[in-house]
Chain A
Amino acid sequence: MRPLWFLLQKEFRQIFRDKGFIGRLFIAPAIQLILLPMAANFTIKNINIAIVDHDHSTVSQELADKIKSSGYFKLTGYTDFNSKADKLIENDKADIVLEIPDGFAQDLIKEGSKKVAIEVNAINGVKASVGFGYLSGIMTDYNNQIRMEMVEPTPLPAQPDIEVVPSFWYNPTLTYYIFMVPAILVSLVTGIAGLSAAFNIVKEKEIGTIEQINVTPIKKWQFILGKLLPFVVMGAVVFSFGLLIAFVGYGIAPIGNLITMYTFLLVFLFAILGFGLLISTYTETQQQANSLMFLFMMVFNMMSGLYTPIDSMPQWAKIITHLFPVSYFIDVMRMVVIKGSGFADIRFHILYVFIIGLVLNTWAILNYRKTT
């Protein structure tokens, strides 16, 4: 055991000497957790709208005002020529064009209904669908309003009306950062722990120090543990610091138990450090490890449910995400932080990630033996 102790001493000495690493340890979480949730917000504002008004009535004016005052839209064109509005879409000046037909107000009152046309620029899919959603909402709202005003009130409703009153559990206001911050924290821990561990081991190969270590009586398991344990500590430090930022910056206090979270963190670190170790056995230089890790981090970030829900992915993609420890951790974090899940709820998550960790570590150690 004593050599392990000396190895750990050496590792920590090297880690603390690397000013850049300590900086990354605290600056990266700060930047990612403060900037990202604010910038990457699905509550889309400033949707550019152009209105083609063939009617020029008080009703159409009123509708336009209602859209403007909703706060989501920015009126970038108000015209009565379709061609002008189309130009605005082509020039990227308008995301949505609302066309109010001639005789809109009259027909609405006389016939009780009138069709309007909505054209959406779908280059940015998210903006298009969200904008369309908002606009439809406003239209429905306005529809009800004029029905109240213009149509003679009848003692009984003319037709049965279904009113939907949504209630969003666990996140009543659908606040974006409440479910983004815990997930970004996972991405951070993955980056700091997994990446750095892989780089650290490959660095010993690249500089040649591993040769010098290999001719000493240090055993392989001591060397590996000596490399991985510091990053368990670093991972926990980043995680705790991130939780602190989430609390101070966003007022997110985990509803669930901290012990549950840290237990899962340990299992997760076991798996992700195994992954880092595996990468390091397949690469010879930090450059190679970097490009390989970049590829995996990219896939982890895109496919682990960080930005897009796993449930909406095709079947083959779902199967792949089940192989990533990252997707389990993101799930667990959201469950524990937002919903307050306990051990019983995440027991299968723990089991799966532990199995993944076991496979990755065994694979890495077998491969490590083979190459030296």
Chain B
Amino acid sequence: MTALTQPATVLAPARRGRLARLRNLPWLAGSILLVVLLLGALGPAIAPHNPRDADLARSLMPPAWSEGGSWSYPLGTDQQGRDILSRIIAGARISLIVGFMAVAVAGGLGSLVALLGGYYGGWVDAVLGRIVDTMLSMPFLMVAIVMAQVLSPGIRTIVLILGFTYWATYARVLRGEVLRIKSQDFVALARVGGCSTLRILWRYILPNMVNTLIVLATLQLGATILAEATLSFLGLGVPPPNAAWGLMLAEGRQYVTYAWWLAVFPGIAIMLTVLSANMLGDWLRVRLDPKQRQV
């Protein structure tokens, strides 16, 4: 909405050399995300304890550095005596699986709708456009809550729910991309050259909108992980005794007045993960999508 007459603003003074290029990489975001990815991938192998191992004798132990804490439970224990660090590591895997898969479902469905609507135009576009409008006009959190309650709980359900509630954003943004690409000469040439519609969509249009898709997907990854945490927090996401971050917060909520670590550490885990995904998305946006540089 701000791109009426503005020339592109200069972003940063161009630095030269390989060293400078290295310095411009999003180091902070990249390393946080890498750590979370490693935690998710290695999970059980590096967790100091079994995340589901409960023992009431050691419940609500504070973090190691406060009085009464122990270094064998660095971030303390929860109300059931489970190790918080191990649960946060286990939660990383759930957040990542749900986040990436939901983004894949939403991105896939959204791309398909965008391709069909943008390429065919006419009534196909009109009908799909109205459906997208409808989806975007609904309070997605409410819809997700209702779906989560109606369907049986589990990781697959959450992925489908988040995919269903988020695809319209992709469809809306990517449709514009399809329209832009479609009007370019190489697509017309391909059509003259006798390419089938499917081939044009798959080989010519899709590869050209991948940049936008990647930027959008990275930015949406954070939002999706937040949504999963919110559903889990409300008790409608991944069911216990799984160690989803949102669920940890929900379970520890009634104890937080005297055991602050129950709330603080899972929250920091969510925040750092989402923050790094958002920062990476912002960086990619500037790199891959010159049109959006000013937003």
Genuine A/B complex: no
What is the interface of chain A, defined by CB distance below 8 A to chain B? none
